[in-house]
């Protein structure tokens, strides 16, 4: 297991290097410079700014310099937010995004699993049909439509919950629900399909014929086996939610990383774009690693290290 | 001035899709009174990028600075400059080229230290210093401060010699300012002294904080009516009454919270639930609020949108008659009244109305009036003449615009109108990001561009000098020696009346004779305000508001 993780971390670093390099060169292709706005800089000021941020050097040199600093964990400072370091910006902004993402993942998974299991156990009844309808709606309707509707009906019409902003727990409910809808739908759909498949397996029939209680059959034999594909999709889904979702953050005025990322791209704020991308990739790769490890926990047959040789 | 475009960009995609009717009859002001404290809530599209009066170059930074800091003068609610950091009107010496100004004895920084003459000297020099990289240091040149132009010019031997700047501390409370020409020839000089770039800065504090200056509320020092007490980056900030402020008895509102958010439905929903006391009304909500006259008001701004005709790329646009036909060949009134509907007015001009009054007390526009007013018939005559001159019967022109929803709508309107009215014309719309559009304009790689400009100072010159040959803002290959001469003469002119006349003639030359640009509209914005919030007026330049004049009725 240790060797497996070690090897994976090595690959992770390679992947990150490739991602960082790609992003770096792609970013150089972005039209416009970070410093042009309607107020014209003088040639002199431009030169000084380029010097300050090392943009006066040839792109390959800039690239090596960037990698050198990156190796030391230095992401640089933002072009747009004067003197503010990229690390500070990311650490300030990741909190709300992560909290919101984790809440949505947990809430969505619990409801989704529950719905999927019930639908499978009661397949082809009205419960099953309703679950399917909800799942289809949840996947096909974009989350910002739910967000807009929730904000208007629950926030403005009923006044039950605050419309937006990120203060106490009551402010978390609407954005969490808006984000969770997609999770619920995805998880429920996968869980139902997998459950039905597992329920048709011989070992379930065997278990039942051995007289094991129905609840034990469901919990211990069916659900556990059906979970594997769900865990696979849940990993990336969680990273997406945790690293910030622009639209939901915008609608509910959540000061998260998603909105920061998009505004950085619009303003050609290279260091922030790079920093956020690398942060996002790292999170993604780590979660994939965790998912791989989790497989082994759920199903010993697919322990990735290949068992004892 | 950089009109915050970022916020508009962010709302794209949100705006159109989440329009739900906000017609609830909820009461406003539910959160506004916290015991005896008067608290209001506002919203901005973006966070503060540069909280440093010497470096600020955007709308939000200027607005906050204007309320937490103060210069020699400040603008009153009618945009007239009134005494602030200065104790009395300046003593004029040296034929008007020197001002000696006494500072208020009771002006203090929020750490209790007095605001001294040296703070002004330091603040000005810091803004002018090349290492500060201020985009607004040209304001010192506009104000005719002695040697400012030379200090900013890398080719001059006085380049960056900051001690040569025309400002000196005679003693702790007496300041001497020297101008390159008599101060009275610049009617807007006192307004410039109310502009954040010309505010004082506390040398010891700024140096002590170094690169961290202005990054957090505790790394900032205040001498204005308010001080920042909380700043959650990306979420918003809180200003509270500054108890060290010399005129604190006239500051009525105790606390101002500002939320950062660009989503239009969110703004309206926050306002509807009383979480906001004031917000701009996005275009799709204007019809809804138009009739609620106790809350809704359109406020005219000094920002003008106009078509740039690039004379270097498309041969057709190098022809004056074709440019004139395009300027006359579409219905400006219809765009303002039927499409925009926010109180914006059609622009048959470049210099906006209500920007500046002349020595006769009359608005610049009153005397010059509308330029290039025509109808379809006239436009078609010029069009035919122009086509004949360039020897073509079909012309294709590209119209460059940003990628916002509004830009798409306006471009389509122009295209439809022009193609219908001018036979043989094809208009292709090209939409790019705001940044990319600026770059394309700089490279002059476009035919016709939908541009906007807001004044940097309350004077027609902030619009007119852009089109001098070689000015970086020209970016369209317009060059007329006569025009260059006129602007040069106006800048040097010390007689206010003559200067005014030259500027009026220059605008006529630019629009009527040369059709260098074609006006589109002068912008207004619709606002909803809690009816209990009184005294709200918007400044035409500098920071948008002075919260000092606002009050909240019980």
Residue ranges covered by each domain of chain B: 1-68+224-277+530-554, 70-204, 301-525
Handedness of CA B251, B254, B259, B262 (dihedral sign): negative
| Whole-number Å distance between alpha carbons of A175 and A253 | 10
Q: Chain A within 8 Å of B27 (Cβ-Cβ)?
A: no
Q: For every residue of B427-469, which 3-state class applies, written as one string?
A: EEEEEECHHHHHHHHHCCCCCEEEEEECCCCCCCHHHHHHHCC
The backbone torsions φ and ψ at residue B502, rounded to the nearest 5 degrees and listed phi first, read -60, -40
Q: Are A23 and A282 in contact (CB under 8 A)?
A: no
Most distant CA pair in chain A, distance: 85
CA gap B116, B200 in Å, rounded: 9
Q: What is the DSSP letter of B22?
A: -
**Which residues of chain B make contact with A250, given a CB cutoff of 8 A?**
10-11, 14, 261-263, 266
Q: List C-alpha distances in Å: B366 to A289, B504, B539.
A: 72, 11, 21
pLDDT value at B176 more than 80:
yes
DSSP A159-177: --S-SS-S-SGGGTHHHHH
Cα nearest neighbour of A30 on chain B: B436
Nearest to B205 by CA among B197, B214, B196: B214
Within 8 A of B215 by CB-CB distance, chain A residues are 82-84
- Residue of B229 and A211 predicted with greater confidence: B229
Quick: pLDDT tens for B516-544.
999 999 999 999 999 999 999 899 888 99
Q: Hey, what are B277's tokens?
A: 């006391």
Query: What average pLDDT does the structure give for chain B?
Result: 90
Backbone angles phi, psi at B461, to 5 degrees: -60, -30
Which among A82, A89, A247 has CB closest to B50? A82
ipTM over 0.90: no
Instruction: Bin B411: left if φ > 0, else alpha if -120 < ψ < 50, else beta.
Output: alpha
User: DSSP letter at B421?
Assistant: H
- Token pair of A71, please? 């190796």
Report chain A's C-alpha Rg in angstroms. 24
Reduced to 3 states (helix: H, G, I; strand: E, B; else coil), residue B398 is: strand
Which residues from A are below 8 Å from B453, CB to CB? 38
Cα B177–chain centre separation: 26
Q: What is the pLDDT of residue B29?
A: 41
For B177-200, the pLDDT digits (tens) are 999 999 888 889 999 999 999 999
Contacts of A105 (CB under 8 A, 6+ apart): A180, A183, A234, A237, A238, A241, A242
Give the per-residue pLDDT at B414: 96
Average pLDDT over residues B308-315: 94
* In chain A, beta strands by DSSP E: none
User: B554 to chain A nearest CA, in Å?
Assistant: 23
Q: Are B507 and B351 in contact (CB under 8 A)?
A: yes
The set of residues, in sequence order, having a beta carbon less than 8 Å from that of B257 and lying 6+ positions away, is: B39, B40, B41, B42, B236, B237, B238
Task: Tell me which CATH homologous superfamily contains domain B70-204.
Answer: Dipeptide-binding Protein; Domain 1 (3.90.76.10)
Q: Is the pLDDT of residue A170 over 60?
A: yes
* DSSP states of B86-132: BSSPPEEEGGGTEEEEEBPTT-B-TTSPBP-HHHHHHHHHHHHSGGG
CA atoms of B336 and B305, how far apart (whole Å): 11
pLDDT at B437 over 70: yes
| Contact map slice: A 267-286 vs B, CB within 8 A | 267-268
Query: Which of A83, A144, A268 is closest, CB to CB, to B435?
Result: A268
Q: How far is A227 from chain B (nearest CA, A)?
A: 36
At B330 the pLDDT is 95
**How far apart (Å, rounded) are the C-alpha atoms in residues B98 and B103?**
16
Nearest-by-Cβ selection for A266 from B9, B439, B472? B9
Residue B73 and residue B87: Cα distance in Å, rounded? 10
Q: Is residue A251 within 8 Å of B266, Cβ to Cβ? A: yes
Cβ of B133 and A48 within 8 Å? yes
pLDDT at B7 over 70: no
Residue A306 above 70 pLDDT?
A: no
pLDDT at B109: 97
CA distance B234 to chain A (A): 5
Instruction: Measure B219 CA to nearest chain A CA, in Å.
Output: 13
- Mutation target to probe the A interface, by most A beta carbons within 10 A, among B6, B21, B155, B234 is B234
Contacts with B432 from chain A: Cβ below 8 Å: 31
CB contact under 8 Å between B260 and A253, yes or no, is yes
Query: Beta strands B255-260 and B37-44: pairing type?
Result: parallel
Question: Does A247 touch chain B if contact means CB atoms closer than 8 Å?
Answer: yes
For range A213-241, the mean pLDDT = 84
Pairing verdict, β B98-102 and B81-83: unpaired
- Give A-chain residues touching B442 at CB under 8 angstroms: 36
Residue B63 has pLDDT above 80, yes or no: yes
Structure tokens at B36: 């005896």
CA distance B518 to B451: 10
Task: Report the percent of chain B where pLDDT is more than 70.
Answer: 94
**HSE-up (13 A, CA, CB side) for residue B162:** 13
pLDDT at B162: 96
Domains detected in chain A: 92-230+239-260 (1.10.3720.10)
Contact B175, B124 (CB under 8 A): no
Q: How does pLDDT run across A57-99, given as a tens digit for each residue?
A: 888 999 999 999 888 888 888 887 778 899 999 998 999 999 9
Q: What is the pLDDT confidence band of residue B26, given thresholds at 50, 70 and 90?
A: very low
- Kindly give, in sequence order, each residue whose CB lies less than 8 Å from that of residue A115, ignoring residues fewer than 6 positions away: A131, A134, A135, A184, A188, A191, A192
What number of C-beta contacts closer than 8 Å exist between A and B?
A: 162
* Residues in B touching A161 (Cβ below 8 Å): none
Dihedral (Cα; A58, A59, A63, A69), 10-degree rounding:
50
* B478 vs B469: CA distance, rounded Å: 7
The shortest C-alpha distance from B141 to chain A (Å) reads 14
Cβ-proximal residues to B219 (8 Å cutoff; 6+ apart), any chain: B209, B212, B213
Give the pLDDT of residue B8.
36
* DSSP structural state of residue B282: P
- Find residue A77's DSSP bridge partners: A85
User: A180: closest CA among A243, A108, A97?
Assistant: A108
Return d(Cα A168, Cα A188) in angstroms, integer. 30
Distances (CA, A) of A124 to A120, A121, B45, B151, B384: 8, 9, 50, 82, 74
Tell me the C-alpha to C-alpha distance, in Å, between residue B28 and each of B75, B350, B525, B533: 29, 39, 21, 10
Check pLDDT > 60 for residue B28: no
- pLDDT band of A246, cuts 50, 70, 90: confident
Place of tokens 């999709």: A233
Tell me the residues of chain A between 162 and 201 that have a Cβ less than 8 Å away from chain B.
Answer: 162-166
State whether B22 and A144 contact (CB < 8 Å).
Answer: no
User: Is residue B25 less than 8 Å (CB to CB) from chain A?
Assistant: no
Q: Quote the percentage of chain A above a pLDDT of 70.
A: 95
DSSP single-letter state for residue B362: -
**Segment among A44-53, B155-164, B258-267 with least mean pLDDT:** A44-53
Name the superfamily (CATH) of residues B301-525. Dipeptide-binding Protein; Domain 3 (3.10.105.10)
Helix A173-199, helix A143-150: angle, nearest 10: 130
Q: What is the CATH number of domain B1-68+224-277+530-554?
A: 3.40.190.10
Q: Is B133 helix (H, G, I), strand (E, B) or coil?
A: coil
Work out the pLDDT band at B35, boundaries 50, 70, 90: low
Q: At B402, list the tokens.
A: 């940003």
Q: Does residue A127 carry a pLDDT above 50? A: yes
Structure-model confidence comparison of residues B29 and B142, the more confident one: B142
* Residue A29 pLDDT greater than 50, yes or no: yes
Q: Look at residue A258 and tell me whether its pLDDT is greater than 90.
A: no
At how many degrees (to 10) do helices A224-242 and A173-199 cross? 150
Q: Report the distance separating Cα B169 and Cα B113, nearest Å.
A: 17
The reported pLDDT for the residue numbered B16 is: 34
How far apart are the CA of A251 and the nearest CA of chain B, in angstroms? 6
Are the beta carbons of B68 and B228 closer than 8 angstroms? yes
Q: Which residues pair with A184 in a beta bridge?
A: none
Q: What are phi and psi of B309, to 5 degrees?
A: -105, 110
Q: Which residues contact B293 (CB under 8 A, 6 or more apart)?
A: none
| pLDDT for position B5 | 37
Strand pairing category for B551-552 and B425-432:
unpaired
Q: Which of residues 89-148 of A touch B (CB under 8 A)?
A: 89, 92-93, 96, 144-145, 147-148
Task: Note whether B275 contacts A256, CB cutoff 8 Å.
Answer: no
pLDDT of residue B542: 87
CA distances from B486 to A187, B219, B459, B480, B511 (A): 72, 47, 16, 10, 14
Distance CA B26, CA B28 (A): 7
How many helices and strands in chain B, by DSSP H and E?
Answer: 19, 20
- Is pLDDT above 60 for B343? yes
Q: What band does A304 get if pLDDT is binned at 50, 70 and 90?
A: low
User: Residue B13: is its pLDDT beyond 50?
Assistant: no
Q: Mean pLDDT across the stretch A3-17? A: 86
Structure tokens at A252: 């509910």
Residue B138, burial from CB neighbour count under 10 angstroms (0-12, 13-18, 19+): middle
State how far the Cα of A68 lies from the Cα of A216, in Å rounded to an integer. 56
Put simply, the chain B residues between 499 and 538 with a CB less than 8 A from any chain A CB are none
Structure-block tokens of residue A276 = 């956020």
Cα separation, B214 vs B94, whole angstroms? 38
> What is the rounded end-to-end Cα distance, in angstroms, of chain A?
13
């Amino acid at each position: 297991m240790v060797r497996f993780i070690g090897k994976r971390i090595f690959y992770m670093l390679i992947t990150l290097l490739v991602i960082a390099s790609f992003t770096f060169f792609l970013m150089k292709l972005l039209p416009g410079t970070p410093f042009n706005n309607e107020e014209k800089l003088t040639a002199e000021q431009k030169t000084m700014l380029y010097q300050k941020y090392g943009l006066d050097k040839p792109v390959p040199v800039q690239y090596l310099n960037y990698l050198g600093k990156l190796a030391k964990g230095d992401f640089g400072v933002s072009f747009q937010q004067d003197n503010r370091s990229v690390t500070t910006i990311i650490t300030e902004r990741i909190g709300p995004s992560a909290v919101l993402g984790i809440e949505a993942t947990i809430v969505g998974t619990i409801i989704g699993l529950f719905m999927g299991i019930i639908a499978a156990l009661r397949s082809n009844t009205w419960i099953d049909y309703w679950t399917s309808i909800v799942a289809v709606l949840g996947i096909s309707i974009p989350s910002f439509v739910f967000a807009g509707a929730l904000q208007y009906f629950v926030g403005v019409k009923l006044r039950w919950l605050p419309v937006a902003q990120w203060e106490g727990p009551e402010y978390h409910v609407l954005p969490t629900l808006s984000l969770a809808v997609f999770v619920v739908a995805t998880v429920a759909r996968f869980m139902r399909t997998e459950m039905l498949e597992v329920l048709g397996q011989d070992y379930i029939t065997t278990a039942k014929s051995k007289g094991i209680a129905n609840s034990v059959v469901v919990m211990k034999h069916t659900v556990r086996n059906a979970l594997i594909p769900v865990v696979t999709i849940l990993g990336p889904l969680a990273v997406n939610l945790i690293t910030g979702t622009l639209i939901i953050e915008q609608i509910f005025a959540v000061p998260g990383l998603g909105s920061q990322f998009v505004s950085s791209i619009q303003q050609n704020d290279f260091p922030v774009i790079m920093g956020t991308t690398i942060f996002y990739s790292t999170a993604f790769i780590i979660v994939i690693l965790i998912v791989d490890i989790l497989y082994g926990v759920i199903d010993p047959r697919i322990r990735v290290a290949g068992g004892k040789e | 001035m950089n009109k915050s475009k970022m916020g508009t960009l962010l709302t794209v995609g949100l705006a159109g899709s989440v329009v739900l009717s906000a017609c609830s009859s909820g009461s406003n002001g539910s959160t506004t009174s916290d015991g005896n404290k008067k608290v209001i809530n506002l919203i901005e599209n973006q966070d503060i990028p540069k909280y440093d009066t010497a470096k600020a170059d955007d709308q939000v930074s200027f607005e906050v600075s204007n309320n937490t800091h103060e210069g020699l003068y400040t603008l009153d609610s009618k945009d007239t400059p009134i005494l602030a950091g200065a104790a009395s009107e300046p003593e004029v010496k040296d034929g008007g080229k020197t001002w000696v100004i006494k500072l208020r004895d009771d002006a203090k920084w929020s750490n209790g230290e007095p605001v001294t003459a040296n703070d002004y000297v330091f603040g000005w020099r810091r803004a002018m210093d090349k290492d500060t990289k201020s985009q607004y240091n040209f304001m010192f040149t506009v104000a005719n401060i002695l040697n400012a132009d030379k200090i900013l010019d890398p080719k001059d031997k006085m380049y960056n010699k900051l001690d040569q700047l025309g400002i000196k501390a005679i003693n702790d409370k007496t300041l001497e300012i020297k101008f390159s020409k008599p101060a009275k020839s610049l009617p807007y000089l006192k307004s410039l002294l109310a502009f954040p770039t010309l505010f004082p800065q506390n040398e010891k504090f700024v140096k002590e904080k170094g690169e961290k200056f202005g990054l957090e509320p505790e790394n900032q020092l205040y001498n204005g009516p308010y001080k920042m007490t909380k700043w959650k980056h990306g979420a918003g900030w809180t200003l509270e009454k500054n108890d060290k402020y010399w005129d604190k008895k006239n500051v009525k509102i105790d606390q101002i919270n500002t939320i950062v958010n660009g989503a239009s439905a969110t703004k309206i929903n926050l306002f509807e639930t009383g979480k906001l006391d004031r917000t701009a009304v996005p275009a799709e909500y204007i019809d809804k609020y138009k009739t609620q006259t106790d809350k809704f008001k359109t406020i005219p701004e000094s920002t003008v949108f106009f078509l740039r005709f690039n004379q270097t790329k498309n041969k057709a646009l190098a022809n004056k008659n074709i440019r004139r036909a395009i300027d006359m060949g579409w219905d400006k009134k219809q765009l303002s009244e039927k499409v925009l509907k926010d109180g914006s007015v059609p622009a048959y001009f470049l210099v906006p109305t209500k920007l500046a009054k002349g020595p006769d007390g009359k608005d610049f526009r009153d005397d010059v009036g509308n330029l290039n007013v025509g109808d379809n018939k006239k436009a078609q005559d010029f069009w035919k003449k122009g086509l004949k001159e360039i020897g073509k019967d079909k012309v294709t022109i590209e119209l460059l615009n940003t990628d916002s929803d509004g830009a798409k709508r306006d471009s389509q309107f122009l295209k439809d109108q022009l193609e219908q009215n001018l036979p043989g014309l094809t208009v292709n719309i090209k939409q790019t990001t705001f940044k990319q559009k600026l770059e394309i304009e700089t490279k002059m790689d476009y035919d016709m561009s939908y541009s906007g400009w807001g004044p940097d100072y309350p004077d027609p010159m902030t619009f007119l000098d852009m089109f001098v040959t070689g000015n970086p803002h020209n970016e369209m290959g317009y060059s007329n020696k006569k025009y260059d001469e006129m602007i040069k003469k106006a800048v040097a002119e010390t007689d206010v009346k003559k200067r005014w006349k030259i500027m009026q003639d220059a605008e006529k030359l630019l629009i009527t004779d040369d059709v260098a640009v074609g006006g589109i509209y002068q912008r207004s914005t619709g606002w909803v305000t809690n009816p209990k919030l009184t005294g709200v007026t918007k400044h035409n330049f500098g920071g948008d508001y002075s919260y000092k004049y606002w009050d909240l009725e019980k």
